[in-house]
Structure 1
Amino acid sequence: MSEGSGFRSGMVALVGRPNVGKSTLMNAILGEKISIVSRRPQTTRHRLLGVHTAEDAQMVFVDTPGIHQSKKKINQYMVQAAISALDGVDAVVFVVEALSWTDGDAAILDRLSEVGTPVIAVINKSDRVSPRERLLPFLEEMQDRHAFAALVPLSAERRDNLEPLLAEIAGHLPEGPPLFPEDQITDRSLRFLCAELIREQVFHQLGEEVPYATEVQVEQFQEEEGLARINATVLVEREGQKAIVLGREGRRIKAIGTQARQAIEHLLEARVHLELFVRVREGWTGDDRALRELGYED
């Protein structure tokens, strides 16, 4: 890495409606999984920095919750976190799904037109468009919607066509030294990342609305040589939800723990002893105090 004349560094916001692939895109760029993903919308709840350091530039990506309309307190906190991420960034990457333009996309673009920051449009899931020529009219429509700095079709899932995006982003960053050490890839603690990997399994293994009423807190995180001991609590809003998370004879929470432990072992590159507990905190998703205690940004 050359940090002399010509080196560029800056902040880049990843924005878009829920479930268009923002977290998958950041994980693909970093080559590491730091943002959890699922097929459900609104899996991402917190702002998360991902640091990509190349030979001539350092890009600090801000992965944000999907911007959407909701009357629920927790969703309002999530949307506010996404909107506030637009302040002070050097570039915005606006992620949309190929051949799918919605009122939600239009509302976000209206807001982006007010920020005065270069906006690069990423057309994600382009690999699913067949034949490929069907993508051309959509790209033309996108060009007419806004004076984008660039339009980049790609597949975050397949890590296809990432280099043109990175080159385009780098060109919009100011010259300056790196903002983070070269070997750092996120601002979040291992404790936070482990909690998120547990919550990811809750989303994968539970149906209906229950995952949206859950949060995970790591109560104990102790690292020994080659072993991490983790105790975590899965928080729910009602007793009925607790029963669902536990499952018959505790089978569901055991399955969640098994899959989460494997993911955490991959993250930590160490053996993990994981214990999970389930606790009820009534109405926490609508309680300002509870949300702040759980790390949701005002």
Structure 2
Amino acid sequence: MFEHEKEEIDTKAGFVAVVGRPNAGKSTLLNHIVGEKLAMVSKKAQATRKRMNIIVMHDDAQIIFVDTPGIHEKERLLNQFMLDEALKAMGDSDLIIFLAPVTDKLTEYEKFLKLTQAKGVKHIVVLTKIDHVKQGDILAKLSEYQKYQDCFEAIIPFSVNKKVGKKQLLDEICKHLPISPFLYDPEILTTEHIRNIYKELIRESIFENLSDEIPYESDVTIEKIDESDTIDKVYATIVVEKETQKGMIVGQKGAGIKRVGKLAREQMELFSGKKIFLDLHVAVKKGWSKNKDGLEEFGYII
């Protein structure tokens, strides 16, 4: 039992699914709120593949944010898994945060309403990227959403760059959480194992350094981590579907994989506060993302 559970005070705790279309800014918002680089951020769409729990303490409440893949149409098996992850997170949560870039039309929100009608979970709309438009545009968008005011609990303009909306959002979330003892140790930021965080940081580096189809047809396996107080030695393999993709990652005289490894190592050191030794290799597993067995090897259970 945690120390705080012995105190006779009303605490709250609950799960909050963070959803929206690909590239709506979910991971950027969560990293900003928690103050750490935990969720994968990429300018390319559909970078996040699995749910991740990110824990934020606010007043007497423990908010367990669930970062989800972007809501999008099911095209390939991997996309189907990603959409299922988002839908499960919505159904399992106490509250949903729907991220709506201020420049988007309301069609994405209307699709979201259809998906959530049967789930009966309350939601808050967060207007993201408001620093990209003028104040009048923000007011106009808020006015557009008023026809759906009976559907949402609140609508909150939010900007990571201008640091607008964070306290208002956390205060609003806490209003809707159930009375509960804390579900996790208040000292931890995520329920994810270090192995999964390192994997996601390597995947992010692939997205940042390589173009076209490679990021979408690749994944990362962490073979081994040797941990000590001052250095983590990480042995990892990037898995792709074609020999040509392997050649593009490795690059001329190994320049490509060195670039991927350098950015990944820097981000891993930033997260862990330790030195990182990263041993990175590339392997080919033909068509892994196109069949159920291949996907299940990487933990994508459909």
Q: TM-score, normalization: structure 1?
A: 0.96
Aligned to 2:141: 138
In the alignment, which residue of structure 1 is the partner of 2:120? 116
Which residue of 215, 222, 235 maps to 2:219?
Answer: 215
Task: Measure the CA separation in 1 of the matches of 2:297 and 2:108.
Answer: 30
1:156 deviation in Å?
Answer: 3.0
1:275 aligned to 2:302?
no
Q: CA deviation at 1:279?
A: 0.4
User: 1:112 deviation in Å?
Assistant: 2.0
Q: Give the Cα–Cα distance (whole angstroms) in 2 for the partners of residues 153 and 51 of structure 1.
A: 22
Q: What per-residue deviation string (whole Å, max 9, x for no partner) do you get for residues 210-267 of structure 1? A: 1111101110101123111111000100011111111111101001101111111111
Would the alpha carbon gap of residues 225 and 9 (structure 1) be closer, same or farther in structure 2, given more than 3 Å must change? Answer: closer
Corresponding position of 1:167 = 171
Aligned pair partner of 2:96 in 92, 115, 118 = 92
- How far did 1:102 drift? 5.7
Change beyond 3 A, Cα 1:50–1:157: farther
Q: Size of the alignment, in residue pairs?
A: 297
One-letter code aligned to 1:254:
K
Runs of 5+ consecutive residues of structure 1 not aligned to the other structure: none
Contact 2:157–2:164, Cα closer than 8 Å, also in 1: no
DSSP 3-state at the match of 1:139: helix
Q: Normalising to structure 2: TM-score of the pair?
A: 0.94
Aligned to 1:245: 249
RMSD: 1.5
CA distance, structure 1, for counterparts of residue 195 and residue 92 of structure 2: 28
Query: Does residue 200 of structure 1 match 2:197?
Result: no
The 1-side partners of 2:31 and 2:121 are apart by 24
Is the Cα contact below 8 Å between 1:28 and 1:157 reproduced in 2? no
2:35 aligned partner: 31
- SS where residue 255 of structure 2 aligns? helix
Amino acid at match of 2:120: G
Structure 1 residue aligned with 2:58: 54
Given that 1:233 and 1:278 are in contact with CA atoms closer than 8 Å, whether structure 2 keeps it comes out as: yes
Amino acid of the structure 1 residue aligned with 2:240: V
Between stretches 86-95 and 76-85, larger displacement belongs to 86-95
Q: Which residue of 2 aligns with 1:184?
A: 188
| C-alpha separation in 1, matches of 2:163 and 2:16 | 19
Give the deviation of 1:33 after TM superposition.
1.1
1:292 correspondence with 2:296: yes
String of CA shifts for 1:181-213, please: whole Å, max 9, x gaps: 011111111011001101101000101121111
Q: Please list the CA deviations of residues 41-95 of structure 1 after superposition, one character each: whole Å capped at 9, or x if unmatched.
A: 0011110000001231000011000010132000100110110111231111000
2:141 and 2:106 map into 1 onto residues whose CA distance is 13
Structure 2: distance between partners of 1:157 and 1:10: 27
CA distance in 2, matches of 1:209, 1:88: 32
Distance, in Å, in 1 between the alignment partners of 2:92 and 2:260 is 39
Partner of 2:262: 258
**Greater shift in the superposed pair: 73-82 or 5-14:** 5-14
- Provide the residue aligned with 1:76 in structure 2: 80
Instruction: Assess if the C-alpha contact under 8 Å between 1:68 and 1:104 holds in 2.
Output: no
State the shift of 1:7 in Å: 1.4
Cα deviations by residue, 1:13-32 (Å, 9 ceiling, x for unpaired): 10111000011111111111
Structure 1 position 173, deviation (Å): 0.4
Name 2:229's counterpart in structure 1.
225
Distance 1:98 1:15 in 2: 15
Mapped contact 2:66–2:89 kept (Cα < 8 A): yes
Paired amino acid for 1:215: D
Question: Shift of residue 158 of structure 1?
Answer: 4.2
CA deviations on 1:138-174 (whole Å, 9 max, x unpaired) are: 1121121352100000113444220000000000001
